[in-house]
Each structure stands twice: as C-alpha cells, then as structure tokens.
Amino acid sequence: MLVAFTGWTFLGFGNLHLHTSIAILSLAILESLAAYYGFRVAAQPTIDIRLQSVWRWIGFALSAIALSGWVSFVGRLFNISFLSELVDWIYFVYYPCIMVALFKFPFSSSRGTERRIFWLDIAIIITATFMAFWAVNLYLFIDLFRSQPSALLVLVFPLGDAFLFAGVTALLQRNVEQVGHQSLIFLTIALGMNALGEGFYDFASIHVNEIAISYTYILWLLGAFFFLIAAVVQINQEPPGRHLYPSRRRSILRMILPYLGVLAGWGTLIIMTFTSVQTDLRQQGVLLGALVLVVLVLWRQYSLLAENTHLYDEMQRLAMTDSLTGLYNRHYFNEMLKRELLRAERYRNPLALLLGDVDDFKFFNDTLGHLKGDLVLKIVSQTMNMQLRKVDLLSRFGGDEFAVIMPDTDQAGAETAASRIQAAVGKQSYADKQLGLSIGVAVFRPGMTPEQLVEQADNELYRKKSSKYARRPDDSA
C-alpha cells in the first residue's frame, strides 16, 4: 500500500481530490492496523506489565489518529463540512496518550541528576526544532497571531510532534530495559516522520502549494508504517538477557545530543544570514567564523568526554566482572538475584537457581599448581556458558563454585539444564583427568529471600557432592 501510493504520487496522480481521499483512506487503514497490533502487545501475558501499559496507551493514541482519518474520509466522501472541524479535536487526543506512553517506558536510572539531564535533553531538541520551524514558516504567522490570538492553535500540531520526538529521542538514550529498546527505535522513527510531516504540511499550506501538501501524506504514511513495525517487533521479540554491560553506543548518543542541538541552532542562523538580503558581508563573515569556533570547541569537548565515557564504562564493566573467568562476579550476582526474585514474586513466574562446584578441584590446585587450577576454572566456565540460554545469568560464586540464575524455569527445566551442563563438562578433560561438576538445584517459592534460595541450592549441592564421593573410596576433593 505504502509503496504503491508513493509510486503513484511521484509518477503523477492527476486528480488532486481523489489522491487526497485515497491518502486519507490509506492512512486510516495503516493507523487502524497499528492500533490493533498495539492492543495485541498490551494483551500479551509474556510481556512485562509496564510495557503492556505503554502499548495500551500507544493503542489509544493510534486509535485517535485512525478515527480522525476515518471521519475525514467520510466527510470528504459525503461532503459533510462539519466533520472537518471534528477531525482536529479527535486527532488532538493522540498527543496526551502518546506522551503518557513514552513516560511509562521502563528505564533503570531514577537519580536526580539523570532526570534533570533527561529534561534538559528534551529542551535542547525542542529549542532546535522550534528554531527550524520558526525560520522556515512560523514567523510568517506573526501578524496573524497579533490580530487573532486563537490562531496560535496552529502551533499545537507541529510543536506537539516536536515535543514527542524530543521525548522519545531523549528516552532512547537512557538505559531503557532491553525488553522495549528495539521497538523504541522504530517508535522514534515513526514520531520523527510525523514531526516532519506536520512541519512540511505547514510550510506547504503557507505557500498554498497543494501539490506539496500531497507529498506530506507519504511522511505520515511512513510514520504509521513504523508504528506498525514497532508493534510487530515488540510482539515477536524474544526475552533478552537482563544482565547487559552498559551500552557504549548509547552513552555516545547521550553525549553527542547537546552538540547536535547547538550545531542545528547555528546552522539555522547561518542559513538565515546567507539567504537574507538585509545582512552585509561583514555580518556573514563574523557569523561564519563564530560557527567554526563553536565547532572546534565542541569537537574538543566531545573528544574529552568520549575518553571519560570510555573510562567510566570500563570501570562499570570491571566492577561487575570476575577478572579470571570473565563471568559476572558475586556482587553482581547478589544484585541480580534480588531483582529476579522481586520480578518472580510480582509476576508469579518460576525462577530457579543452580549452584555448581568443580569436582576434585583440590587435585588440580595442589598437584598441578594454582595456575593450572585457573585454567580448569576457565574451561568449566566456558563450557557452562555454552549450555545456557541468553536470559540465564552465569556468575562465579567464589573459589571453584559457579551460580546460575534461570528466570522462567521450573524444577523440571532446572534439573534438565543441570544434567545438560554436567554432561558437557564431563566431556572435558585436563592433564589426562576428566573434569566433573556437581550441581545443586533450588526453585523459588513465594516469600523466599535471596539468602534462603541460595541456602537451599547450597544444601542440595552438598547432598549431591556427598552422595557422589560416598561412592568413590579415592575421594580427593
């Protein structure tokens, strides 16, 4: 539909009224599909309850756009004039709904500084966008605003879209939990298309260019298409690991945003200066030199901040990683276990914990030396990691012990995973000695604390290990 309409538009569509009617109908159909899939996401029981709420509000927002499209189409089809006034009021519902959805997105940090930077980022994007809108067309309305203050409503749609785009862009930089990050990328593109469409529509309306207005529908159709893609991606997204290193790419994006805002503002000023007949060569030279100076200073500051960001990310990674095996360390394990227990308690999901201990590790350490013992730990950790799912968290618990947090896993699933890991480790050998691993399994029950779950797994591990060595008179562990 989108490809066919775009091709028809660029190849020449003949009847303008027919083209506009088909554009509105296509937009109503796409927005209705996007709203339907948005509500489907909200009804998915496997999706985080916070994301269900997000997509419910997105569904309401898209329903408002779809309804406005259907009302507009019916009004054009049957030539009902009063319906055109109703369309804007229905469309207006989209803005508060989508804003509620954006600010319901789950993201991790809630520090005061983080919240302040978040709102400053939004202000930067809105200011830069307003400068561009003002330079292109809004200044032409100034006399109309003075004589008819109610005409300020013309700013609601383009500035509303700019505010939404600013919000989703700033949110995209945050540590949004991976359960919603991929769909948020497509939501950003969708809102960007809508914002461009509103700005282009105002520009074309001011210059009374109906042909240019017809091209605006392509941008709006692209926005509806990416809303639909965002919902489909969210439905089909597999649950990713909840234990990810800090995203360097997202840190760079967060750092570069204010500089892009400054450059956008200066770029708008330079374009206005060089296209105005009232500025002389002296003003143009000074402004161009000022722009070069700003670019050089921003480049310098960016280079410094990039290095600081790299050092900070590396420090965070080291703080949660075991230096020998590269697995997560005990401190990070403790934090994640608390989070997963709260999640399991809240959503009534199963949760299992595996606690493993390398068999005969004393032999490798005492007979072959500690360096050889370290190699054994690396072999065991790598083998275990290959047997686990992406959502499972493997960490070095201490010494020759390893712990695995397994979300959405019951007793039978945990026992199966433990057997699979033991079989894989049993196929490994070092210094002509077969490796082995004893594993204790514990399953979360409502009301249990992290300490109780670990104690249950530890007791089960001790029982398994004692039973194994009881059958071996040459116990060397």
pLDDT in tens, 309-368: 778 778 888 889 999 999 999 999 999 999 999 889 888 899 999 999 999 898 888 888
Is the model's pLDDT at 22 over the cut of 80?
A: yes
d(Cα 118, Cα 109) in Å, to the nearest integer? 11
Mean pLDDT comparison of 149-158, 289-298, 420-429, highest-scoring range = 420-429
When pLDDT is averaged across residues 176-182 and rounded to a whole number, the result is: 57
Q: Would you state the pLDDT for residue 207?
A: 65
Q: Would you state the pLDDT for residue 325?
A: 94
Q: What is the DSSP annotation of 274-317?
A: HH-TT--HHHHHHHHHHHHHHHHHHHHHHHHHHHHHHHHHHHHH
Mean pLDDT (the chain) is 81
Question: pLDDT category, 241, cuts 50, 70, 90?
Answer: very low
Q: Would you state the pLDDT for residue 126?
A: 73
Map tokens 């921003």 to a residue.
298
Q: Would you state the pLDDT for residue 244?
A: 46
CA-closest candidate to residue 226, choices 183, 190, 192: 190
Enter the tokens of residue 466: 């004692």
Residue from 400, 432, 474, 475 carrying the catalytic annotation: 400
112-126, 143-157, 285-299: segment of lowest average pLDDT = 143-157
Q: Would you state the pLDDT for residue 185?
A: 81
Burial call 252-281: b when 16+ CB within 10 Å, e when fewer: bebbbbbbebbbbbbebeeebbeeeeeeee
Map tokens 């500025």 to a residue.
279
Q: Would you state the pLDDT for residue 310?
A: 78
Nearest 5°: the CA angle 430, 433, 435 is 75
**Considering the entire predicted model, what is its pTM?**
0.61
The yes-or-no answer on residue 357 being catalytic is: no
Question: 194-208, pLDDT tens digit by residue?
Answer: 888 877 777 776 666
Amino acid (one-letter) located at 373? G
Question: 247-303, pLDDT tens digit by residue?
Answer: 555 555 566 667 777 777 777 777 777 777 666 666 667 677 767 777 777 777 777
d(Cα 467, Cα 471) in Å, to the nearest integer? 7
Q: Would you state the pLDDT for residue 348?
A: 87
CA-closest candidate to residue 335, choices 268, 242, 421, 253: 242
321 contacts 328 by C-beta, under 8 angstroms: yes
Question: pLDDT category, 170, cuts 50, 70, 90?
Answer: low
Q: Would you state the pLDDT for residue 95?
A: 87
Q: Would you state the pLDDT for residue 401?
A: 96
2-6, 102-106, 239-243, 363-367: segment of lowest average pLDDT = 239-243
Proportion of the chain above pLDDT 70, given as a percent: 77
d(Cα 64, Cα 277) in Å, to the nearest integer? 44
Is the model's pLDDT at 422 over the cut of 70?
A: yes
CA atoms within 13 A on the CB side of 267: 11
Question: 44-53, pLDDT tens digit by residue?
Answer: 877 778 788 8
Q: Would you state the pLDDT for residue 236?
A: 80
Report the DSSP beta bridge partners of residue 429.
434
Q: Which residue has the higher pLDDT, 433 or 110?
A: 433
**CA-based R_g, the chain, Å:** 30
Q: Would you state the pLDDT for residue 49?
A: 80
Mean pLDDT comparison of 102-106, 110-114, 165-169, 283-287, highest-scoring range = 102-106
Is the model's pLDDT at 451 over the cut of 60?
A: yes
Question: 364-414, pLDDT tens digit by residue?
Answer: 888 888 899 999 999 999 999 999 998 999 999 999 999 999 999 999 999
Q: Would you state the pLDDT for residue 146?
A: 63
Is the model's pLDDT at 56 over the cut of 80?
A: yes
Residue 280: φ, ψ to 5°: -95, 175
Q: Which residue has the higher pLDDT, 293 or 420?
A: 420
Q: Would you state the pLDDT for residue 475?
A: 47
Q: What is the DSSP annotation of 402-469?
A: EEEEEET--HHHHHHHHHHHHHHHHT-EETTEE--EEEEEEE--TT--HHHHHHHHHHHHHHHHHHHH
Q: Would you state the pLDDT for residue 187?
A: 86
Q: Would you state the pLDDT for residue 255?
A: 65
Amino acid (one-letter) located at 349? N
Is the model's pLDDT at 477 over the cut of 60?
A: no
Q: Would you state the pLDDT for residue 147?
A: 64
d(Cα 38, Cα 267) in Å, to the nearest integer? 38
When pLDDT is averaged across residues 124-135 and rounded to a whole number, the result is: 72
Question: pLDDT category, 86, cuts 50, 70, 90?
Answer: confident
227 contacts 193 by C-beta, under 8 angstroms: no
